[in-house]
């Protein structure tokens, strides 16, 4: 009797102690943002299953995330300024801080020790220790002489433990070197163009590009040669002669680079632009079925997948990069918000928000592999991002 | 007393049940091959520590490995035909088979379900289920009309669950489509050139290249257009006019592709060749301090690191890809055999076999971060390879 009691205790301790978090690799894990419910689903792409749901992440509209260096933790940036560190193995929130009033995303440093958040309110960048979420540096986006602070957009990581971001209201690009995190060195580039609204670092970590909402062009900084300053490229690339209504601003971070060409969404036009990244000249325009939002290259660069703004947001198109033709049109479901390729590109996961599902396609046959229920899914992010620059 | 006894039992069960395999992400893990002792060290690159040693892997001279899709398991290919599946989390051998008499490496399929080994004896390719190591397909490298089998070299993975390999004795390249693994479709390309000795698939998965030992050039197959057949490129690239003694054949798999240029070791000459991969023409030659063996690009493509054959194998050189100049010479230790960049390139790990150590450098400052003891270390492999093509 007594022995039984203790055996039961032993078993309970055992179950409580280790049965719950399963020992597993993290290289095939991912997260699906459920924007309406402030929750995320943890998924895995080998067996293509949902593993768990984690609640309590606050306002996840327009949420994005980055992964820790080891692939175990996601840092989820909510619109409400909440930054939540989710443990994908324990399937639970590890830490959570409200770090601003209104936030729009973040980045993780090359060495994985620092996480940065870009904030609208108060306008600036805050940098935290990735392990504890302790605040390390606070860089208000002060500009002009009237004590104003700009909204920060387009924050991205770059080699050398640098972060790069843009000041929407000020028309500036700032480069912060956090090699010594408590004493960051900030370089400011002024008059880069009116209203930078988003930015990205190219996959090779060399170029920072900011889209300009107030002008028809992009601001480009060569991070190998910051002394050359910010250059204007692709003047007249998007908004063009007659301005069309823009239903949804395209996301620059979705930029596809395949070989020596980048594929980017024209603003307000039913076109994907092809740009030669050796010369930064426009090489072609590809007609598509709506205003492109995300333009994403399959990891091997052979295909580019495109989703669209309202009213064309119930389908996606696939461009063959060799022929520069649309070779496939798919209808995953209502309100396609995001797409994510598996690490080596054999499949793509697509979120259809208003059908409450994620659809997985084979990228060779275009066959629909499966559908997975999710509550108003938006962003999909796989852990392979941890090993890449500019994600 | 009795309670104490059971409490002790409970604690023991707890320790036995879950203290051993620590819950952790696998994105920052790696393996160092210890060739002389048939063992591997499991390491992690965040804290830069050795986690465990695993013995019993047989003959690990010239050993290489690939990672499972989730980053948890390594498939180590030994020279003796042994294939060992190592569990990086349990820090133990999961499975081991002797699949051939003499083997030279392997590859893992795009979807992660198949592992292939390339064998000298018996000459051919064997394909196994990645989970169980059950044999799925056996493709003898039969050639000619006399019942001969060729040594297989240059096995690499390609998109579409394909493997590509070369037949040394036959001068052939074979492409196997394993979408239906039990009924693979094999395409054979004959008369590609004499004695292909190694091969690779470019990081974008498009081109297969085989080095030719019996001729002065490379055989190239465009996997987007296999109907165009195998083409000869870079005729006269390496061996040149007067043949120099070759102390160690360079490894093609180390090929560096940075932007539109590939950097490859000349054979027998103290040069690194720069090739334009749009045209496959030679673009430049960079003089280096010895016969190059591995020529590896930092993930951002800004640097290329080179190690050398005897008698120049105690140092490495760093080429700046923009100026195409050697910008640094380092002396990690005696007999440098291999190098591996951390996933985002902030550091590089270098094995110095005859000094029994691994040396870690910061790739920005070139500072020596630390040294780690290892027994006759050769290959170093990090799990980020799982998400990449052609590794």
Mean pLDDT of B94-122: 95
Whether residue B315 has pLDDT greater than 60: yes
Whether residue B246 has pLDDT greater than 70: no
Model pLDDT, residue B7: 45
Model pLDDT, residue B13: 43
A10 in helix, strand or coil? Answer: helix
* Closest by Cβ to A110, choosing from B7, B346, B388: B346
User: What's the CA gap between A137 and B140, in Å, rounded?
Assistant: 61
Scanning A192-251 for CB atoms below 8 A from B yields 204-206, 224
From the CA of A28, how many Å to the nearest CA of chain B? 5
Looking at A10-14, A329-333, B37-41, B111-115, which range is the least confident one?
A10-14
From the CA of A143, how many Å to the nearest CA of chain B? 31
Whether residue B114 has pLDDT greater than 90: yes
8 Å CB contact of A2 and B7: no
Scanning A47-76 for CB atoms below 8 A from B yields 67-73
Q: Give which of A28, A157, A387, A391 to mutate to test B binding, by max B Cβ within 10 Å.
A: A387
Give the tokens for residue B48.
């830069």
A contacts of B114 (beta carbons < 8 Å): none
Residue of chain B with shortest Cα separation from A257 = B259
**Closest by Cα among B213, B287, B301 to B259:** B301
B contacts of A299 (beta carbons < 8 Å): 205, 389
Residue of chain A with shortest Cα separation from B362 = A160
* Closest by Cβ to B26, choosing from A7, A25, A73: A25
Model pLDDT, residue B92: 98
B contacts of A26 (beta carbons < 8 Å): 25-27, 70-71
Model pLDDT, residue A8: 44
* Closest by Cβ to A25, choosing from B70, B111, B160: B70
Q: Is residue A182 reached through a cis peptide bond, with omega within 30 degrees of 0 on the bond before it?
A: no
Whether residue B236 has pLDDT greater than 90: no
The rounded radius of gyration (Å) of the Cα atoms in chain B is: 22
State the pLDDT confidence band at A5, using cuts at 50, 70 and 90.
very low
State the pLDDT confidence band at A21, using cuts at 50, 70 and 90.
confident
8 Å CB contact of B224 and A73: no
Phi/psi of residue B373, each to 5°?
Answer: -70, 145
Model pLDDT, residue A7: 45
Q: Give which of A300, A362, A367 to mutate to test B binding, by max B Cβ within 10 Å.
A: A300
Neighbours of A340 (CB within 10 A): 23
Residue of chain A with shortest Cα separation from B70 = A27
State the pLDDT confidence band at B252, using cuts at 50, 70 and 90.
confident
Looking at A290-304, B7-21, B207-221, B225-239, which range is the least confident one?
B7-21
DSSP state of B11: H
Whether residue A46 has pLDDT greater than 70: yes
State the pLDDT confidence band at B21, using cuts at 50, 70 and 90.
confident
For Cα atoms A374, A377, A381, give the angle at the middle one, nearest 5 degrees.
Answer: 105
Scanning A152-181 for CB atoms below 8 A from B yields 159-161, 179
Whether residue B206 has pLDDT greater than 90: yes
Model pLDDT, residue B244: 53
Neighbours of B243 (CB within 10 A): 11
Q: Give which of A4, A27, A30 to mutate to test B binding, by max B Cβ within 10 Å.
A: A27
**Mean pLDDT, all residues of chain B:** 91
What is the DSSP code string of B195-246? -EEEEEE-TTS-EEEEEESSSSSEEEEETT-GGG-EEEESTTSSS-SSPPP-
Q: What percent of chain A has pLDDT over 90?
A: 81
Whether residue A218 has pLDDT greater than 80: yes
Scanning B114-153 for CB atoms below 8 A from A yields none
User: What's the CA gap between A259 and A239, in Å, rounded?
Assistant: 26
Q: Give which of A160, A344, A381, A385 to mutate to test B binding, by max B Cβ within 10 Å.
A: A344
Whether residue A4 has pLDDT greater than 70: no
Looking at A31-35, A277-281, A378-382, which range is the least confident one?
A277-281
Model pLDDT, residue B245: 60
B327 touches chain A (CB under 8 A): no
Give the tokens for residue A12.
């309970």
DSSP state of A15: I
B99 touches chain A (CB under 8 A): no
B contacts of A386 (beta carbons < 8 Å): 27, 343
A89 touches chain B (CB under 8 A): yes
Q: Give the CA distances from residue B256 to residues A289, B33, B200, B228, B390, in Å, rounded to whole numbers and listed in that order.
A: 38, 22, 11, 25, 12
Residue of chain A with shortest Cα separation from B202 = A300
Model pLDDT, residue B37: 96
Residue-wise pLDDT for A234-267, tens only, equals: 987 765 445 556 566 677 776 788 888 999 988 8
CB pairs under 8 A between A and B: 189
Looking at A100-104, B8-12, B255-259, B386-390, which range is the least confident one?
B8-12
B28 in helix, strand or coil? Answer: coil
Residue-wise pLDDT for A158-187, tens only, equals: 999 999 999 999 999 999 999 999 999 999
Q: What percent of chain B has pLDDT over 70?
A: 91
B42 touches chain A (CB under 8 A): no
* Global pTM value: 0.93
Model pLDDT, residue B6: 44
Model pLDDT, residue B322: 94
Whether residue A3 has pLDDT greater than 60: no
Q: What is the H or E stretch that residue B9 is in?
A: helix B2-14
State the pLDDT confidence band at B14, using cuts at 50, 70 and 90.
very low
From the CA of B38, how many Å to the nearest CA of chain A? 25
Whether residue A6 has pLDDT greater than 70: no
Whether residue B20 has pLDDT greater than 80: no
Model pLDDT, residue B238: 62
From the CA of B17, how many Å to the nearest CA of chain A? 7
For Cα atoms B151, B153, B159, give the angle at the middle one, nearest 5 degrees.
Answer: 135
B contacts of A44 (beta carbons < 8 Å): 70
Return the higher-pLDDT residue of A110 and B260. Answer: A110
* Closest by Cβ to A18, choosing from B18, B46, B69: B18
Mean pLDDT of A360-388: 97
Mean pLDDT of A93-99: 97
State the pLDDT confidence band at A343, using cuts at 50, 70 and 90.
very high
Whether residue A289 has pLDDT greater than 60: yes
State the pLDDT confidence band at A344, using cuts at 50, 70 and 90.
very high
From the CA of B31, how many Å to the nearest CA of chain A? 15
B46 touches chain A (CB under 8 A): yes
Return the higher-pLDDT residue of B243 and B360. Answer: B360
Model pLDDT, residue A384: 97
8 Å CB contact of A343 and B69: yes
8 Å CB contact of B2 and A7: no
A198 in helix, strand or coil? Answer: strand
Model pLDDT, residue B280: 93
């Amino acid at each position: 009797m007594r022995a039984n009691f203790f055996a039961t205790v032993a078993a309970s301790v055992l179950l409580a102690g280790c049965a719950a978090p399963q020992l597993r690799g993290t290289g095939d894990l991912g997260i699906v943002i459920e924007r309406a419910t402030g929750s995320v689903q943890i998924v895995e792409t080998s067996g293509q299953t949902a593993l768990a749901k984690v609640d309590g992440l606050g306002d996840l509209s327009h949420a994005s995330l980055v992964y820790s260096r080891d692939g175990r933790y996601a840092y989820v940036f909510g619109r409400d300024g909440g930054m939540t560190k989710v443990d994908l193995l324990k399937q639970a929130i590890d830490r959570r801080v409200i770090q601003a009033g209104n936030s729009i995303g973040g980045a993780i440093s090359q060495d994985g020790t620092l996480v940065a958040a870009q904030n609208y309110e108060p306008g600036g960048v805050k940098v935290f220790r990735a392990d504890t979420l302790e605040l390390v540096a606070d860089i208000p986006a002060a500009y002009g002489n009237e004590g104003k602070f700009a909204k920060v957009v387009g924050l991205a990581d770059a080699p050398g433990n640098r972060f790069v971001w843009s000041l929407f209201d000020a028309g500036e690009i700032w480069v912060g070197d956090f090699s010594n995190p408590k004493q960051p060195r900030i370089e400011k580039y002024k008059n880069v163009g009116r209203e930078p609204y988003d930015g990205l670092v190219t996959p090779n970590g060399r170029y920072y590009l900011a889209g300009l909402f107030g002008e028809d062009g992009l601001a480009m900084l060569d991070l190998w040669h910051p002394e050359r300053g910010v250059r204007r490229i692709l003047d007249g690339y998007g908004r063009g002669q007659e301005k069309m209504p823009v239903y949804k601003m395209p996301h620059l971070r979705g930029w596809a680079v395949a070989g020596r060409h980048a594929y980017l969404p024209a603003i307000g036009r039913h076109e994907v632009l092809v740009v030669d990244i050796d010369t930064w000249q426009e090489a072609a325009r590809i007609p598509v079925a709506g205003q492109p939002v995300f333009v994403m290259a399959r990891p091997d660069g052979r295909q580019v997948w495109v989703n669209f703004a309202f009213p064309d947001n119930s389908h996606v198109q696939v461009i063959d990069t060799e022929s520069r033709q649309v070779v496939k049109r798919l209808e995953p479901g209502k309100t396609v918000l995001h797409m994510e390729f598996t690490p080596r590109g054999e499949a793509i996961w697509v979120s259809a928000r208003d059908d409450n599902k994620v659809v997985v396609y084979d990228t060779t046959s275009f066959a629909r592999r499966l559908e997975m229920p999710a509550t108003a899914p938006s962003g999909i992010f796989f852990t392979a991002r941890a090993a890449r620059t500019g994600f």
